[in-house]
Structure 1
Amino acid sequence: MDQRIKAFLLVVLFQVSSAAAQTDPQDAAALNSFKRLWKNTPPNWNNPDPCNGNWVGITCNSNFRVISITLSSMGLEGQLSGDIGSLSELQTLDLSYNKGLTGSLPEAIGSLMKLSNLILLGCSFSGPIPDAIGSLKQLVFLSLNSNSFSGEIPPSIGNLSKLYWLDLADNKLTGTIPVSSGGTPGLDMLIHTKHFHFGKNQLKGTIPSRLFNPNMVLIHVLLDGNQLTGSIPSTLGLVKTLEVVRLDRNSLTGTIPSNLNNLTNVQELHLSNNQLTGPMPNLTGMNVLNYLDLSNNSFDPSDIPQWFSTLQGLTTLAMEGTHLQGEITSAVFSIPQLQSVNLKNNQINGTLDIGAKYSGQLQLIDLQNNLISNVLEGRGYSNSLFLQGNPFCDSSTGPSTNYCTLSQQSIPTYSTRPKNCLPPSCPSGQMSNPNCKCAFPYNGTLYFRAPSFSDLSNESLYISLESSLMNSFKTAQLPVDSVSLSNPRKDSDNYFDLDLEVFPSGTERFNELGILNIGFVLSNQTFKPPKGFGPFFFIGSPYGAFADLSSRSNNSVSIGVIIGAAIGGFLLVSALLCAGYYAIRQKRRADSVEQNKPFSSWDPNSSGSTPQLKGARWFTFDELKKCTNSFSEANAIGSGGYGKVYRGTLSTGQLVAIKRAQRGSMQGNIEFKTEIELLSRVHHKNLVSLVGFCFERDEQMLVYEYVPNGTLKESLSGKSGIRLDWTRRLRVALGSARGLAYLHEHANPPIIHRDIKSTNILLDDRLNAKVSDFGLSKLMGDNEKDHVTTQVKGTMGYLDPEYYMSQQLTEKSDVYSFGVVMLELITARKPIERGKYIVREVKMAIDKTKDLYGLHEFLDPAIGLGTTLKGFEKFVDLAMSCVEESGADRPMMSEVVKEIENIMQLAGLNPNADSASTSASYGGTGGGHPRHPYNDDLFDYSGGYPAYKVEPH
């Protein structure tokens, strides 16, 4: 190129860069040093100015100081230089999943006084962790796992008083666990830290008794796979917040502390493969324990502990090689959620009787190499039972059974299925996603360090995990179309591993920004797996679908960059002019909208007066189009005769469900108006919230909070995959009753719902009940305190017969419908089935002289038969009082609430506690894919607008 042209372009570039603010020179120098040291940096790092050039993975503040570096899964290669210490405003450093990053962590990292997140997991860093890391007083999240760090854990980490997450697992760390002494800091000082993840290292010495104290809020202590010796300190039993304890695969000795059963919040306890001795521990009182593994220790010989059968939450019982003896009773196998029992290599004798009431989830019983001489057969159990190495298999009857044949256990398989479509044949390198679109997925592996389940064949587990992943990505507004899970397995560390593929939305490949944002959601634990999966980490693979990696790193300023910068300067001025024009235009448009209210075109002759709004937001059509990706099929989550329902993510990050009527169809205006009016004026945690609505361009759309776990009906029928035991059904009943009581007695004016049924009760992510669908509801005016004369509407089976006969609607009509729902809760039957009415059938069958009022044949098996249904009879009494023929004989909803609270207290439950941490731990034994709350049967409604099923009478 002519030198005069080059000189001219350089002058233009200088003038443009001088006119605009530039990256702080110190920060720019540090980033440019990384660019020179690293291979495979993003293409736009060739721009000379990181902040103005919007370098991928670099975030700057208004003063053009670098505050964040997030570059996960970029395929970076090289070392982290000491220049990192120059970035004095840096708050987040995430270089995860870059296996090509090697070398040691520079001491200069201790200069980053504002750093709150240091995430380097899944790289290849080595050498000691610098002691200077203890200077990072603002550090909240420290994740250095899955590298090759060596040396000792720096005691200075004890100075990090704000630390929440500490993960040093899967390295080559040696030495002892540091605790404070004589002015030297230690990990015992981390009283606000919730996560100690130190597994899979080479730590030695004892677990210091000073490591634990009652002021700590730890929930995870993971020390598995080290070389620790000595006894388990009794101070561990002082940390009552603990939920997961893994001390397995060490060389621990001595007895298990007797106060370990103080840890009543522990759900997973792994002490296997040590050298523990003494008496078998008594774990009575650890009532939420799901997973117990004490295998391969040298306890004193003991009979099968009676406390086994008191742990009603157990899914997995592993006591291999623990010197158990005596006869095992059927009570062990009747634990309701039990999935796996491993008692092999013991001295269990006598007759094996699994019993008739064994857990419906029980998949494996392994009793190999014991002294069992007889087996009571014909009890219906047909899953895996291993008895090789018992006298029974040497007898004349033993060899004829499958129990004595060492058969290969079936390996669980799962792969996300296509969503009602036929996968196409994709070009090389691309894969068909669950929505049958070809794309380049982002791959990696999810590792769950302490799952609470052992049955990997339960499909509802994977569906729940897929849903949670998608919710996290959508909440973060990431360009993700779908996710796919496959190849579930348990590895040699007893971790649960799954392959994950994440597919892009609206295109066949991710850009760099999309990949690093997905990586960050997974690396910094923004994604929270469903309850039961336990602590996790993710290792992502380099994304190979960008442009050619060999051309991505260019360390010189090319003529093309100079030309681009010069053109950019011109465009900058043009953009400013356009921005000013756009702002004026938007202001005028906003003024026009304000003058033209959304209901100015409402037809009062056909639909009544304009809705009276109290807080519901009006959305434009364009806003809802944008947040649903142009109403894409990928976001469609339900349908009906009126149209479809879409999942959307608002600009605030809120996940919503958008009901969209068929375009041009203006049927159901009264119901549309009613729901907006009612839901905009009522606010209660047990009522579905209306976020807003759209009424323009001949469109009718309602925007609700997104309720992820479907309808009560779907859970009772098994379609959702969520299992509701007696406790959870009581909580659902209480939540629904509280929502109704609010409508009847606290809303102003009072509201009668008029269509209470199991499809109109939704369950959120914690299984809290939310009453929905107010299109048939009626306001009680001052002159209508006793009743409203109105045309009869509702759903057959739930309809109050007094209302049906008199057309006099009162709040007692809702009470009747709620009584039917209560009966549905205990029977899981439809209100009218094969011509039989549930109210009449139950009323005729009740025998108060018998246990459970003699209603055994009516009870839903999933309710937890075999356990004590405390308060069941009072619950039935309350339900029958709600369905009395005369409304005057029925209780008020506030009285119903009070009685359910009393029943729960009788059952030893706190009526004011949340239903669950998350819903995922309540997966049932089957049921297939969970159906969404916004699906077909919820919208079968003769008025034409979504959400209400009205039976003509």
Structure 2
Amino acid sequence: MSKLLQLRPEILLFFLISIPFNVISESIETERTVLLNLKQQLGNLPAIQSWNDSSSPCSWPGINCTDGSVTSVSLHDINITVKIPSSICKLKNLTFLDLAFNFIPGEFPTLLYNCSKLQHLDLSHNYFIGSIPGNIYQLSTLVYLDLSGNNFSGNIPPTIGGLRKLKELHLQHNEFNGTFPAEIGNLSNLELLWMAHNGFVPMKIPDRFTQLKKLKYLGMTETSLIGEIPNDFADLSSLEWFDLSKNNLEGPIPSRFLMLKNLTNLYLRNNELSGQIPRTVEAWNLVEIDLSMNDLTGTIPEEFGMMKKLVFFNLCVNQLTGEIPAGMDQLPVLKTFLVFSNKLSGVLPPELGLHSKLEYFEVWDNQFTGQLPKNLCAGGVLLRVVASSNNLSREIPALLGNCSTLRTVQLQNNQFSGEIPPGLWTTFNLTVLILSNNSFSGQLPSQLARNLSMVKISNNKLVGEILIGIGSWSSLTVFEASNNLFSGKIPEEITYLSRLITLHLDGNQLSGELPSDIASWKSLHTLDLSGNKLSGPIPVAIGSLPDLLKLDLSENQFSGKIPANLGNLKLTSLNLSSNKLSGKIPDEFDNLAYENSFLNNSNLCADTPILNLPDCSSKPRKLISKYLPLILSLAVLIVIVTVLLILFVMIDYRSKKRGGDLATWKLTSFHRLDFTEENIVYRLTKSNLIGSGGSGKVYKIAINESGGFVAVKRIWNNKKLDGKLEKEFIAEVEILGSIRHANIVKLLCCISSENSKLLVYEFMENQSLDRWLHGKKKKSTTIGTNSIYHIVLDWPTRMRIAIGAAQGLCYMHHDCCPPIIHRDVKSSNILLDSEFKARIADFGLAKMLTRQGEPHTMSAVAGTFGYFAPEYAYTTKVNEKFDVYSFGVVLLELVTGREANCGDEHTNLAQWAWRHYTEGRPEVEMFDPEIDGPCHLEEMTVVYKLGLICTSTLPSSRPSMKEVLLFLQRHSKKSDV
């Protein structure tokens, strides 16, 4: 020390200053070693390839430093597939760790307890399983914790209330099936609590939650809440966003509830709340109010008309009565006004839109009277007007016809009259115009807005001819003009509308012949021209329309023969009654499915008496009667011989069975059974056969007298099971026998012998999805033992089917160990029970991955054309993204109604959808016209775009099934899955 003191002052100063730099240098060197080791343990991923031993970690992607030390590691979405290495906590100053959107497996990483300074932890959207550990309180320095989008289950432990510094807690989109603790109310610094979309046991909102005085955001959508909303929630003075939608809450909204001074968003959608909205409202800072999809009663409080900061107002789908409060049309910043599906009455506020820039106005399904407000588009940004199913009257305001921003106008089922404003037909951005069931007068325009794709004007008093200018309506896909007073000929120019899907001109006074050149209607599904005065022959070109499903030409004056090529169509509905047709009907229609299709055509005939039409046979009946005795004698002889042969075969078959053949059958059960192999084997008869495919025949077999059935798939190839079918049998038994999920078809047992294999499943009453979506049913559809006429799946049912199937695939990909690739996902392998709940079926091609994320090599062609992912053309290695592509095709089927191989003559469905998308065509053009679309356009558009993403050419661009499922659940309104 004495020698040190004898040094010159400047040398001593340099020595003292250099000490911290040496320490920092050593720290950086240590952290570089830790991170390079981490890089190696994570598998040298492309995103971190630039990490090296010759540069400072502070310059590496994903790494941030403070004062020369690593404090932040962000490895967000870089395809990590291994567990978190324990070495990460050797970064002593680490405060920020983001590992979201990866594929990290295993249970909650308790090794992170060693990261003593950690403040921000994001593990969202990974593959974590199990429960949150009880000692999570050891992460006591955390300010931010995000565990959303994983597979955590069980209870949320009460010890989570020990994270006293926590400001944000994200637990949404997991599989919690236990309870959540009242101790969350101890988190006094919490500003955001998000627990939505979890299957907790039914619970009341804990009173202790009212202690969260700093809480700004509370999200508990779909968390099985019951009971009433605590009165003391009014004490949460910082609350801005409140979402308790999709629960089972009951009782009135608390009298003090709307006294929240700073509340900017209020969401209580899709509950079962009852009672009146309180009239004491002091929440003058409210920006967004959403009390939709409840069972609220009473009137809308007058105080809502005083909320000068209100932007979003949504009380739809309740039981509210009375009038809209005075002053609501004076609010200066109101953009969204939604009160549809209530029992509201009175006159709509006349100055709505005059004092604010209104964007969305939806008041349909109420009892409003009077006129539509004149100034809805005064702000120049109005996008949507839906006022259908009320008692509104008078004319459409002229200003609405000059609103250039409008995209949707729906005013059907009212008492409007007068002429339709000319500008409404030509508004540039308008895509949907529905004015049916009113008393509109006037004529059709010669020009139409370029983007207008759906026009419904049925049941009005419109007159005149359909002008030749209709040929310029190039974007039109749906045109319904039934039951008006249109007259004259149908112009040839209507054949220019190549995108038409639905054309209804029935119930008018149209005359003359049909245009002959209608082959351009390649997308047409429905053509209804009934109830007119049309004449001449039925154009042969109708028989060449590839997508035509419904054809109604009844009650006209058509003459001549029915074109033979009509029999080539996959018609689900045909009506040619009450015309002047003659000749023989096409053979394809000579069955009971078309018994009402040809009535009142006196000159038609058929080869069989099934349809009560005259016999077309030209042979004299005398010739038949001459040889009748000989014919009868031969027939009797044939019957006797046949009966004897059948008896001999049956006796021989029974004797073999009773002699020990049944003993060769081996039954392996996977569930408790109420039948034996004898119940199954002896009933594999032709009368019980319901289908067949590439891997065997399927039988429907009754197993008890109370109406219970099972489905039996028999794999039998000329009494010798070949190697390929043997492998499929083993695969299906191995997979279905070991997994349990509500959306995967249940394999009850397998029964095998030397020559035959049987798989016994639960019976699905509504068979497969493809039978409901596509034209394989002709006139009627069979469900179980009951025959019904063709029924179209509505959109909510399709959405539930999509979510159910996604849940099954998500379980296979993310919850099975090892994961399972189905490899043959298609609509015919999605079965539907009596309530249309989806089950994934047919696992003959499925494979288990030996390691998560590891591709599987296919040695032979597998799957179904139209559902193949593009990589199948250049590699035999597939992973879960192969199934994602196939599921994307199913989503496109659900939205468009088209088959997987039927885009157009050169493309499959996925290619067709992508081409339409890249050309910038309106999505509504692609939608299934069978669906009542206007109420569900937003959801259908979302699912359509999700189908496009899933069918991306590059596998890396496709989402995981977990992401697909979360996306569907997030955008479904009230899907009861």
TM-score (norm 2): 0.43
Higher relative contact order (CA 8 A, sep 6+): 1
- Larger Rg: 1 or 2? 2
TM-score (norm 1): 0.44
